[in-house]
Structure 1
């Protein structure tokens, strides 16, 4: 029997290697646990009561419940069966088959797809539950089923919206324009969301119609919410390197330019459009990738054009509610609404902006901005720097105008003498 003089060293080396691997495994496990406890997942929350007081129906679904918050409402249960039909249509979508053998093969594919979808949601269940601002009192199977049905319903709805060839006549979700508007209303509500990563996992697993093969999930979202997002949304794809929390959050991100930096300055009084006009301060329409791109440049207040649509009230209110309830971040849309609310206080103000091509409606915008409740803390005001510059520019003009009035008055009095 030969002795290996290096045997003990080799064995010791192996033990050290195994021990280090175990240490690394334990460290990775520890880091994951800490990340799970500290990560800010709760991005789908209920709207604060102070917003409900203004217009409760703006925050509640009209036709369909998505997620856990409104699924118990009696008036929405009628559409639950339709959601299941959309699930079946999506998972059973195949090329036409004739033979019995091919039909059996397709049935196996359906079972495999369904199993993969359930497994994908099961693996992310804990993260999905943490996406909500309060504990979800649902059993595991019930929660996973809800995510599956609601997620597949949304994806199939996007497919039917973008690909007219796969629509069925008499579909209650697409039968009239008003029903379609109600659907869009429901899918932008803060309380009517499911995590975007659930949608993305399902989208990666379900069969995509041939007409939609070239579209990503984000592109389908933008096509569905056409007129509610910036016109150049096709150029926004590279913006979304950060995590998308849900559909409303994606729309929120589409409003914000990549170059936007919060300017935290002392709050100034915001003049109305009429006051700016009277003091000689120019107001101009400006081309901007973001409707939030207000700026004061070369002695003029430059404002991107804003087109009124049927769901603008719903969208802005829910974005404001989201910024003030779920997100501890810069309040971009809240600041915008706050600024425009002060800028457009009367029909006269709206008329000036419409003449400049900045808005396309008058009374609608006056009513819209006057009704939305916004409270902005100085430290969160996005347009602080703009208002400071605007205020500094107006004051000299006001003084000059006042001096001219005084001089005219003096001259008139002297003539009368």
Structure 2
């Protein structure tokens, strides 16, 4: 009985032990685990372009005016061309934080917020050769570049915020170069850093109703090919960085067609046209929404500008170095598809005539050079591309299958024409022979009658 009571008491003690509230140290452990999970989830979202890609077009991956993030800090502290923009950054930071009476309080809020995100931010940068700034210096980089970008977006959106003769807006071409620099893969800071800073910095009343996503969209909209309205809907707060937001805008809206095989190519547009497939301009403005229905390949308009190669190269590099938006590389698939459609200058002319392809210098002279350049552009973009499966595998399969049917139908049609064509020819020969015989008979009869008439 005593043993039974002792056992029951022990059971009660064990039960009570389970209900003890967690120690205060457990909350810090939970916080640590959450931070570790966030760190892992954001690993390697900002990468370097591969060495082979940099060799093919170094300028396409290297900032020309402003260094953002840690990858090109050495260039920012040197003389030209990135050093001058560092002074403009600090001027923009002062303008942003100075909208609050207590500037030091604004600064403290920013630093505290970035301290909390430091480890997560560091984890975003990938590569063994990356030598990230230590401690305070890294936080300083995130602070300076993040505040500069936010103030740049604010000034771009609202003219009254700009200082008179601000070189960023006054110097011709400066804003264009900054926009290109902010779209480079190696020139990014995490989007969550921008979002957190946007929450703590003083926003002017003129922009109080604008989100960070809307401000970023306004800044980049002239650079993104396609329909502005659909892009605005896709330009949300979700993304790893600014280039990732641009990539998200370009994602196709059409469902992916099923395919039995992978990575198929199409013949050039002129070859497809010769085989009976119609090529038309699609009504949609979504660049990647290429579709094939009822023997018609519909291609959205392709506009080639000065920044087109730079933007596409960095989007491809982004897809190649990470698994953004799944395992299917949408932009890479599109570039490979267009490269297969454009094999020669004839293909470029063909697409121009149908309003599918236009370029920024269409009104200039030198049409042959332009067509040759556009034709080579997509071929160059495909160099060093690794594409295990294409988003357009199903489309290619359908086009090639339809092309085979068209060729067989065309051969039968030509054969029928030849067969039907030989019959009229035979009839004409027979008719001609009969006419000749009739003429000969009539001539003979006429001769006989003449002879008889003379001798009777």
Which residue matches 1:175? 170
Mapping for residues 210-225 of structure 1, pairs under 5 Å: 210-225=205-220
1:393 matches 2:402: yes
Q: Cα distance, 1:353 vs. partner?
A: 1.9
After superposition, the C-alpha distances for 1:277-328 in whole angstroms (9 at most, x for unaligned) are: 1112111222336311111112211111222222111000000011111336
Equivalenced residues, count: 397
Q: Cα distance, 1:354 vs. partner?
A: 2.2
User: 1:80 and 1:31 mapped to 2: Cα distance?
Assistant: 37
| Secondary structure at 1:192 match in 2 | coil
1:368 matches 2:382: no
Normalising by structure 2, we get a TM-score of: 0.78
Which residue matches 1:80? 86
Which residue matches 1:270? 266
Q: 1:41 to 1:242 in 2, by over 3 A?
A: farther
1:128 matches 2:121: yes
* Kept in 1: contact 2:54–2:61 (CA 8 A): yes
* Kept in 1: contact 2:93–2:144 (CA 8 A): yes
Which residue matches 1:356? 354
Farther-moved stretch of structure 1 (177-186 vs 131-140):
131-140
Name which of 139, 161, 164 aligns with 1:166: 161
Q: Cα distance, 1:160 vs. partner?
A: 1.4
Which residue matches 1:346? 344
Mapping for residues 4-403 of structure 1, pairs under 5 Å: 16-19=18-21, 28=30, 31-32=33-34, 35-36=37-38, 38-73=40-75, 74=78, 75=80, 76-93=82-99, 106=101, 109-134=102-127, 135-229=130-224, 232-235=227-230, 239=234, 243-257=238-252, 260-261=255-256, 263=258, 265-288=261-284, 290-327=286-323, 329-361=327-359, 363=371, 365-374=374-383, 379-403=388-412
After superposition, the C-alpha distances for 1:156-212 in whole angstroms (9 at most, x for unaligned) are: 111111111111233222223422211111100000000001111111122223332
User: 2:56 and 2:63 mapped to 1: Cα distance?
Assistant: 16
User: 1:37 and 1:124 mapped to 2: Cα distance?
Assistant: 9
Q: Which has the higher contact order (CA 8 A, sep 6+)?
A: 1
Which residue matches 1:97? none
User: 2:196 and 2:146 mapped to 1: Cα distance?
Assistant: 9
Give ranges in structure 1 of 5+ residues lacking alignment. 1-7, 95-105
Q: 1:395 to 1:177 in 2, by over 3 A?
A: farther
Greater radius of gyration (CA): 2
User: 1:258 and 1:15 mapped to 2: Cα distance?
Assistant: 56
Q: 1:21 to 1:38 in 2, by over 3 A?
A: same
- Root mean square deviation of aligned Cα: 3.2
User: 2:273 and 2:258 mapped to 1: Cα distance?
Assistant: 25
